[in-house]
A = this chain, B = another copy of it.
Amino acid sequence: MIDIKKANETAVSRMMAARPILRTVAPARDVIPGMRQDLLLHAGPPITWQRASGPMKGAVVGALIFEGLASDWDSAEKLVTSGQVALEPCHEHDAVGPMAGVTSASMQVYVLENVTHGNRAYANLNEGYGKVLRYGAYSDEVIAKLRWMNDVMGPLLAEALALSEDGLDIRALLAESLHMGDEGHNRNKAGSIIYTAKLAPLIARTGAADEDKAAVLQFLGDNALSVLNPVMAACKAMADAGHGVEGSTIMTVMARNGTELGIRVSGLGDRWFTGPVGQPDGLYFPGFTASDASGDIGDSTITETAGIGAFAMAAAPAIVTFISGTPEMAVNTTLEMYEITTAEHSAFTIPVLGFRGTPVGVDIRKVVELGIRPQINTGIAHKEPGVGQVGAGLVLPPMNVFEDALLAYAEQYSLV
**Separation in Å of the A152 CB from the closest CB of chain B?**
13
Residue in B198, B205, B318, B351 whose CB lies within 8 Å of A221:
B198
In the bound assembly, the distance between CA atoms of A318 and B182 in angstroms comes to 13
**Interface membership of chain A positions 200-233, coded 1 if the CB is closer than 8 angstroms to chain B and 0 otherwise:** 1111110000110111011011000000000000
The answer on a CB contact under 8 Å between A201 and B215 is yes
In the bound assembly, the distance between CA atoms of A353 and B197 in angstroms comes to 29
Residue in B190, B200, B214, B327 whose CB lies within 8 Å of A351:
B327
Question: A196 an interface residue at 8 Å Cβ cutoff?
Answer: yes
Q: How many residues of A contact B (CB 8 A)?
A: 38
The answer on a CB contact under 8 Å between A214 and B210 is no
Interface hits, A350-381 → B, CB 8 Å: 351-355
A214: which B residues are within 8 A, CB to CB?
201-202, 204-205
Question: A36 an interface residue at 8 Å Cβ cutoff?
Answer: no
The answer on a CB contact under 8 Å between A200 and B221 is yes
Which residue of B is nearest A182, CB measured?
Answer: B180
A326: which B residues are within 8 A, CB to CB?
354
In the bound assembly, the distance between CA atoms of A267 and B202 in angstroms comes to 51
In the bound assembly, the distance between CA atoms of A176 and B224 in angstroms comes to 12
In the bound assembly, the distance between CA atoms of A221 and B221 in angstroms comes to 13
Question: A145 an interface residue at 8 Å Cβ cutoff?
Answer: no
Question: A290 an interface residue at 8 Å Cβ cutoff?
Answer: no
The residue in A193, A320, A321 that gathers the most chain B C-beta atoms within 10 A of its C-beta is A193
Secondary structure of the A side of the interface?
helix
**Separation in Å of the A332 CB from the closest CB of chain B?**
13
**Separation in Å of the A219 CB from the closest CB of chain B?**
9
The answer on a CB contact under 8 Å between A201 and B181 is no
Residue in B204, B215, B220, B352 whose CB lies within 8 Å of A217:
B204
Q: A181-B180, A205-B210, A214-B204 are in contact. Are A352 and B354 (CB under 8 A)?
A: no
Which residue of B is nearest A328, CB measured?
Answer: B354
The answer on a CB contact under 8 Å between A200 and B196 is yes
**Separation in Å of the A254 CB from the closest CB of chain B?**
27
Question: A117 an interface residue at 8 Å Cβ cutoff?
Answer: no
**Separation in Å of the A345 CB from the closest CB of chain B?**
16
A202: which B residues are within 8 A, CB to CB?
214
The answer on a CB contact under 8 Å between B197 and A352 is no
A354: which B residues are within 8 A, CB to CB?
326-327
Question: A147 an interface residue at 8 Å Cβ cutoff?
Answer: no
The answer on a CB contact under 8 Å between A189 and B180 is yes
A211: which B residues are within 8 A, CB to CB?
205
A190: which B residues are within 8 A, CB to CB?
180-181, 190, 193
Question: A317 an interface residue at 8 Å Cβ cutoff?
Answer: yes
Which residue of B is nearest A211, CB measured?
Answer: B205
**Separation in Å of the A374 CB from the closest CB of chain B?**
24
Sample 21 A-B pairs with CB under 8 A, ordered by A number.
A176-B189, A179-B189, A180-B180, A180-B181, A180-B318, A181-B181, A181-B190, A193-B194, A196-B196, A196-B200, A197-B217, A200-B200, A200-B221, A201-B213, A201-B214, A201-B215, A202-B214, A317-B351, A317-B352, A327-B352, A327-B353
Please give the residue numbers on chain A whose beta carbons come within 8 Å of chain B beta carbons, in ascending order: 176, 179-182, 189-190, 193-194, 196-198, 200-205, 210-211, 213-215, 217-218, 220-221, 317-318, 320-321, 326-327, 351-355
Given contacts A193-B193, A200-B217, A201-B217, 19 further A-B contacts (CB under 8 A): A180-B190, A181-B351, A193-B194, A193-B197, A197-B220, A197-B221, A200-B200, A200-B203, A201-B218, A201-B221, A202-B214, A203-B204, A204-B214, A204-B217, A205-B211, A320-B351, A327-B352, A327-B354, A352-B352
Can you list the 10 inter-chain pairs with the closest CB atoms, starting with the nearest? A317-B351, A204-B214, A197-B221, A201-B218, A200-B200, A318-B351, A196-B197, A204-B213, A180-B180, A179-B318
